[in-house]
Amino acid sequence: MCILTFVKPGITPDLDALSNGAAANPHGHGYAVITGNTITVGHGMDAATVIAEFAQVRAQYPDGPALFHSRLATHGLREIDNCHPFRLGGDERTVLAHNGILPTNVHPHADDPRSDTRIAAEDYLPTQPFGSLDSWAGREHFERWLGRDKIVILTVDPAYKHRAYIFNEHRGHWDAESWYSNTDYRPYQWREAADDCEEYCVNCGEPDYDRLGPHCPWCGFCTECIRTFPKCVCPSLDGEERYADLLELEYT
């Protein structure tokens, strides 16, 4: 469900990894690089063009944190306006990008062309519904709202204590000083047929050893209807049985 990459200050991004992630998530791409006291942001529908632009900006400004995002659309039109990252409340000093499917309170209505993340960035999160994200309570409430989703925020706003934040960092993967929200950055052959012939969930990146159905045993994501747990609408009996097991674990 998209792939989000965070690059530490001083680290050169792995362009092959970005290309792998873009191939698996082809519905638009974007980046952000902290460039001194500003944030340089770029978007585009062509992966190669956006990756090349990102590499050029990063080479010029290697000392700040950076992010890259490739989208697999679930809500909103497949257009450049729905490409991550988004300005938080329209403030050019702060941007965010997201991996997953956010809760229903930020899903678009039928006549709204925006994605769930864009709605969250433009309308919901600027109201600070969780309080300060620099506080322990604010971060905990925000991550609880996210569930298994992940968000990266970059900012040059002095109101924040830090210039970069990864929320639900433990649900992603660190590799060569870069953080990835799932394993889509790895070569297709590795992801789909590793040494043990494992398959990996495109939503949370965890391995699925038994392949009993369309649902990830870790997060419940359905690969058939592209919905997160427990919102699967597939009529499959196997799927229903597996979701029943997940619900029992969730609430017992």
**Tens of pLDDT, residues 156-215:** 999 999 999 999 999 998 998 999 999 889 886 555 544 343 456 666 666 665 556 677
- C-alpha to C-alpha distance for 93 and 46, rounded to whole angstroms: 26
Mean predicted confidence (pLDDT) in 118-123: 96
SS3 117: helix
Phi–psi pair at 143, nearest 5 degrees: -65, -30
- pLDDT, averaged across the chain: 85
For the question of whether the overall pTM of this predicted structure is more than 0.75, the answer is yes
Instruction: Please say whether the beta carbons of 150 and 97 come within 8 A.
Output: no
Enumerate the H helices of 25-119 as residue ranges. 47-60, 116-119
- C-alpha to C-alpha distance for 53 and 19, rounded to whole angstroms: 13
SS3 99: strand
Q: In what order do the strands lie in the sheet with 38-44?
A: 38-44, 29-35, 66-70, 3-7, 178-180, 173-175
**Which amino acid type is present at position 57?**
V
Give domain limits for the chain.
3-184, 210-250
**Tens of pLDDT, residues 99-110:** 998 998 999 998
Give the CATH H-level superfamily of domain 3-184.
Aminohydrolase, N-terminal nucleophile (Ntn) domain (3.60.20.10)
Model confidence at 112, pLDDT cuts 50, 70, 90, reads very high
H or E stretch at 93? strand 91-99
What's the confidence (pLDDT) of residue 241? 44
**Tens of pLDDT, residues 29-41:** 999 999 999 999 9
User: What phi-psi label fits residue 126: left (phi over 0), alpha (psi between -120 and 50 degrees) or beta?
Assistant: alpha
Mean predicted confidence (pLDDT) in 47-59: 98
What's the confidence (pLDDT) of residue 152? 98
179 vs 219, more confident: 179
Residue 226 has what DSSP assignment?
T
